[in-house]
Amino acid sequence: MFKLIFCLVCASVTVAPSSSCFHCFIDINDAVRMCWGYIMIAEDIRNVDECMMMVDRMFNFNQIVMDAARVGRGHDQTLKDIMLAEIMPMVEEFDQKTHDETVYEVRLKAAAEHFIAQASLLPRGFQVEGSVYSCRGCQYESCEFPLDCPVEEVVVGENNRTQMRCDVLFPLPGDIEVVWRYAETETQLLGLLKEVTVGVDRLYSIPSASPQHTGTYQCEIFTEGRSIVRLYFFLTGQQAQATSDPAATSLLRLPPPSLLTACLSGLLLLLLFSLG
């Protein structure tokens, strides 16, 4: 009988997501032991498969659990210890004993909440560490940003104010240093970029853009002397468009004052000659 239940559970795990925080750290044999005595109240029958589906709801399809488990490199073992501390007491307590589904729901919900609370206290993955742990694949994944990001083109009107922000999609430590550099051409070669500012300001502003501001701007973020990320912006200018107002256009086409004076003088002389 136990062998049949084990086969059914294995089949249900196969069709369910192949990896999750629960599946990453809890052995299938222990999962079966925990779910052995799951009783469905309405039918008054024991159903291991329903228990595993409840585990899916509490852990495997719970995005809060998945997000809490995205910890920095080297902390996956601590993550496993937290999960074992929540689940293994239930395994020992429920093995070969029956409990109705409400008992399982209360205990599994509490275990998920405790896991979230403790896992959330672990260090998150900074870019310098290269990756974060993911229960979705039971492995480390690369961060959203490579060290050198693609050049972002920024077009700004002449004499307009422009700002560039050194923003990233992952959390930053508190002791960062930001270096801004500039080159007159579009480039990602560090040798061509000259240092402009050093500090903690991730915002770079140009009050009034002009052709001399055209070029590549690079911001690099450091923590404890190590580079986290480098972002590039290529700034180009845009001349103000001519006005479409006909009156303004006619004014722009008037001849210069000296030419107007000469024309008026000639007309006056012709008028005097015509009058004798």
Laid out side by side, the sheet with 215-223 consists of 148-157, 226-238, 215-223, 176-183, 194-199
Same structural domain for residues 17 and 133? yes
CATH number, domain of 185, equals 2.60.40.10
- Domain boundary pick from 91, 114, 141: 141
pLDDT digits (tens, 9 = 90+) for 214-231: 999 999 999 888 888 889
Same structural domain for residues 102 and 172? no
Q: What is the pTM of this model?
A: 0.50
Residue 234 forms part of a structural domain: yes
Which of 18-22, 76-80, 252-256 bottoms out in mean pLDDT, i.e. has the lowest? 252-256
Residue 8 forms part of a structural domain: yes
Same structural domain for residues 227 and 172? yes
Same structural domain for residues 65 and 167? no
Same structural domain for residues 9 and 137? yes
DSSP string, 96-164: T--EEHHHHHHHHHHHHHHHHHHHTTSPP--GGG-EEEETTTTEEEE-SS-SEEEEEEEEEETT--EEE
Residue 158: predicted pLDDT: 86
Residue 84 forms part of a structural domain: yes
**Residue labelled with tokens 């899916």:** 56
Residue 87 has pLDDT above 90, yes or no: yes
- Domain boundary pick from 116, 141, 166: 141
205: CB partners within 8 A, 6+ apart:
161, 162, 163
**Token couple for 269:** 């002389």
User: What per-residue string of b and e applies to 120-155 under the rule 16 or more CB within 10 Å gives b?
Assistant: eebeebbbbbeebbbbbeeebeebeeeeeeebeeee
With contact defined as beta carbons under 8 Å apart, do 5 and 34 qualify?
no
Q: Please give the residue range of the domain that contains residue 40.
A: 2-141
User: What per-residue string of b and e applies to 48-76 under the rule 16 or more CB within 10 Å gives b?
Assistant: bebbbbbbbebbbebeebbebbbbbeebb
- Domain boundary pick from 106, 141, 176: 141
Residue 11 has pLDDT above 70, yes or no: no
Residue 275 forms part of a structural domain: no
Same structural domain for residues 25 and 118? yes
The more confident residue out of 2 and 173 is 173
Residue 252 forms part of a structural domain: no
Mean pLDDT of 14-26: 66
Residue 265: predicted pLDDT: 65
Residue 266 has pLDDT above 50, yes or no: yes
User: What per-residue string of b and e applies to 165-184 under the rule 16 or more CB within 10 Å gives b?
Assistant: ebebeeebeeebebbbbbbe
Same structural domain for residues 122 and 11? yes
Coil, strand, or helix at residue 7?
helix
Nearest to 31 by CA among 62, 52, 45, 56: 52
Same structural domain for residues 47 and 123? yes
Residue 245 forms part of a structural domain: no
Same structural domain for residues 155 and 93? no
Same structural domain for residues 69 and 199? no
Residue 253 forms part of a structural domain: no
Residue 274: predicted pLDDT: 60
Residue 46 forms part of a structural domain: yes
Residue 51 has what DSSP assignment?
Answer: H
Same structural domain for residues 126 and 230? no
Residue 7 has pLDDT above 80, yes or no: no
Residue 201: predicted pLDDT: 92
Question: What is d(CA 21, CA 15) in angstroms, rounded to the nearest whole number?
Answer: 17
Q: Residue 70 is inside which H or E element, if any?
A: none
Same structural domain for residues 114 and 167? no
The more confident residue out of 22 and 11 is 22
Domain total for the chain? 2
